[in-house]
């Protein structure tokens, strides 16, 4: 709060039109560990639709354009761009490493960095035991595991391409550590903003504190249900800010009317629930029929059947996030993929869409997918109830008077790990519910077309 007050006083941030930043504590936060958070709220005056409610000076943001291209970090970024091409996410990560670990207290963002967490609730910062709560899910087996591997590659690339080359820019060993990279990586994924009117990604202080709108609030209507192979674009997230060239500011306009005392929120893109957990560190509250409420499937055939699938227009491997409310056409596509991946023939219509596709193999595939999870649904529900109660108990323990400092730190660590485990189990439950629902639909449709038995 002190950093925010100072930023407003300096003119870096303008929270006009009856908007303030205030601590907010709600019941869901108690269940998440009793943590207080910051959020943008309206004060006595309401905020009308299309009214600018927050402004941040462009030179108060973390962005590669802050640095002169002829010297220091700016020259290094220009050289990297020339040698390896444009990579806006990596450029921002390099800027963050430089500002926090090389500049240190001399950085204009030093106090801002201190106001944030050392660790985030994204799987990047999870323990191995917590991450393994997601065993059986492709979100873990593929995306999260792949991200762990990618972090190692990025760490090596930074050492070879940046730290060992620009020794006059990066002189501190602190920026070259894995924990530093994890911090910068998560900041770039969870808090970076795509500002309309500016190229690349930027970290815009204050705006990165805006929370995602809960389910049913300011929802955009999705045009597809995800069953056709389209994956949510990560680059769409946090694209609610606009650059005002006349004032040289980043501006956020209200997408709807807000009443007095209401928290301002934004849509952070159409990422699936698994992607939100991976990149933001929480499982979002979305409606059951939302296309975001889907289960990731990464389908790979045997080598000898890859040509069959490519000839039919499928990608190999095929990434698809299948929603609770998947269309029949989407289920036909899934069934066709399963058939072709086993070397069987599939009929198509004049639009090259599968028709009369048997779904028995798809049902079996989903059953096998459900069997991959190491727990049952009842075990998951019991675990969630126990973990949530433990978090409440731990949060109450933190409020005890005279609690030793070391004991308090130990309890906070337990709360953080428990909160992460809760998120993992919540995602596991969502995926199981979707798979069981799809299986019920498939079994029902199959029974409806069974040949009547001859009573004689």
318 pLDDT higher than 80: yes
The reported pLDDT for the residue numbered 232 is 40
Mean pLDDT of 218-246: 53
69 pLDDT higher than 70: yes
Is 281 part of a structural domain of the chain?
no
219 pLDDT higher than 60: no
234 pLDDT higher than 60: no
The reported pLDDT for the residue numbered 36 is 59
The reported pLDDT for the residue numbered 396 is 87
Is 276 part of a structural domain of the chain?
no
The reported pLDDT for the residue numbered 37 is 65
pLDDT digits (tens, 9 = 90+) for 101-134: 999 999 999 999 988 888 899 999 999 889 989 9
Residue 32 banded pLDDT, cuts 50, 70, 90:
very low
Is 367 part of a structural domain of the chain?
no
SS3 of 41, please? strand
Mean pLDDT of 366-392: 94
Between 309 and 353, the higher pLDDT residue: 309
* Residue 317, preceding peptide bond in cis (omega within 30° of 0): yes
Say if residue 62 is in the same domain as residue 176: yes
Say if residue 124 is in the same domain as residue 223: yes
Is 282 part of a structural domain of the chain?
no
Mean pLDDT of the chain: 85
Mean pLDDT of 424-451: 84
The reported pLDDT for the residue numbered 447 is 56
The reported pLDDT for the residue numbered 60 is 92
Is 264 part of a structural domain of the chain?
yes
How many domains in the chain? 3
Say if residue 256 is in the same domain as residue 300: no
Say if residue 262 is in the same domain as residue 140: yes
Whole-number percent of the chain with pLDDT over 70: 88
Mean pLDDT of 406-419: 90
Is 370 part of a structural domain of the chain?
no
Say if residue 183 is in the same domain as residue 299: no
User: Which residue among 212, 238, 271 closes a domain?
Assistant: 271
452 pLDDT higher than 50: no
The reported pLDDT for the residue numbered 218 is 42
31 pLDDT higher than 50: no
443 pLDDT higher than 90: no
Say if residue 344 is in the same domain as residue 407: no
Q: Which two tokens stand for residue 22?
A: 């205030």
Say if residue 81 is in the same domain as residue 224: yes
Render the burial of 371-386: b for 16+ CB within 10 Å, e for the rest: eebebeeeebeebbee
- Domain assignment of residue 382, given as a range: 377-448
Say if residue 186 is in the same domain as residue 80: yes
Say if residue 224 is in the same domain as residue 303: no
Mean pLDDT of 271-276: 92
Mean pLDDT of 356-380: 94
Residue 376 banded pLDDT, cuts 50, 70, 90:
very high
Is 289 part of a structural domain of the chain?
no
Q: Which CATH number characterizes residue 89's domain?
A: 3.90.1410.10
Mean pLDDT of 56-81: 93
Mean pLDDT of 319-334: 92
24 pLDDT higher than 80: no
Q: What is the rounded end-to-end Cα distance, in angstroms, of the chain? A: 82
* Residues in a beta bridge with 266: 212
pLDDT digits (tens, 9 = 90+) for 281-313: 999 888 888 899 999 999 999 999 999 899 888
Say if residue 127 is in the same domain as residue 264: yes
The reported pLDDT for the residue numbered 134 is 93
The least confident of 22-26, 49-53, 228-232 is 228-232
The reported pLDDT for the residue numbered 221 is 28
25 pLDDT higher than 90: no
Residue 27 banded pLDDT, cuts 50, 70, 90:
very low
Say if residue 340 is in the same domain as residue 395: no
* Residues in a beta bridge with 294: 323
Say if residue 205 is in the same domain as residue 116: yes
The reported pLDDT for the residue numbered 40 is 85
Is 253 part of a structural domain of the chain?
yes
The least confident of 209-213, 216-220, 269-273, 406-410 is 216-220
């Amino acid at each position: 709060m002190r950093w925010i007050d100072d930023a407003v006083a300096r003119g870096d941030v303008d929270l006009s039109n009856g908007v303030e930043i205030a601590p907010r504590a709600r019941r869901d936060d108690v269940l998440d560990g009793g943590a207080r958070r910051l959020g943008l709220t309206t004060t006595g005056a309401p905020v009308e639709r299309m009214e600018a409610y927050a402004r941040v000076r462009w030179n108060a943001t973390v962005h590669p354009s802050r640095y002169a291209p002829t010297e220091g970090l700016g020259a290094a970024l220009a050289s990297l761009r020339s040698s390896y091409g444009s990579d806006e996410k990596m450029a921002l990560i390099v800027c963050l490493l430089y500002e926090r670990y090389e500049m240190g207290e001399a950085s204009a963002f030093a106090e801002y960095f201190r106001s944030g967490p050392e660790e985030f609730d994204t799987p990047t910062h999870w323990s191995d035991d917590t991450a393994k709560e997601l065993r059986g899910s492709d979100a873990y087996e593929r995306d999260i595991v792949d991200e762990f591997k990618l972090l190692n590659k990025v760490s090596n690339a930074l050492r070879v391409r940046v730290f060992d080359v620009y020794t006059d820019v990066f002189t501190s060993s602190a920026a070259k550590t894995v924990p530093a990279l994890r911090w910068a990586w998560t900041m770039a994924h969870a808090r970076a903003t795509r500002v309309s009117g500016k190229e690349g990604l930027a970290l815009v202080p204050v705006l990165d504190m805006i929370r995602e709108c809960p389910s049913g609030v300011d929802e955009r209507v999705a045009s597809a249900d995800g069953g056709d192979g389209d994956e949510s674009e990560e680059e769409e997230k946090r694209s609610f800010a606009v650059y005002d060239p006349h004032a040289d500011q980043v501006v956020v306009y209200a997408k709807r009317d807000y009443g007095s005392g209401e928290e301002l929120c934004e849509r952070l893109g159409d990422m699936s629930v698994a992607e939100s957990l991976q990149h933001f560190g929480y499982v979002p509250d979305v409606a059951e029929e939302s296309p975001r409420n889907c289960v990731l499937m990464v389908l790979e055939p045997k080598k000898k059947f890859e040509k069959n699938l490519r000839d039919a227009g499928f990608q190999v491997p095929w990434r698809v996030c299948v929603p609770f409310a998947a269309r029949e056409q989407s289920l036909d596509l899934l069934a066709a993929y399963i058939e072709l991946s086993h070397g069987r023939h599939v009929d198509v219509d004049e639009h090259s869409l599968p028709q009369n596709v048997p779904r028995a193999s798809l049902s079996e595939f989903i059953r096998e997918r459900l069997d991959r999870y190491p727990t049952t649904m009842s075990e998951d529900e019991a675990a969630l109830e126990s973990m949530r109660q433990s978090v409440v108990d731990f949060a109450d323990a933190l409020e005890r008077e005279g609690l030793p400092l070391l004991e308090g730190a130990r309890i906070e660590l337990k709360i953080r790990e428990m909160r992460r485990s809760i998120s993992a189990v919540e995602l596991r439950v969502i995926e199981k519910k979707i798979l069981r629902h799809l299986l019920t639909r498939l079994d029902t449709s199959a029974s409806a077309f069974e040949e009547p038995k001859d009573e004689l």
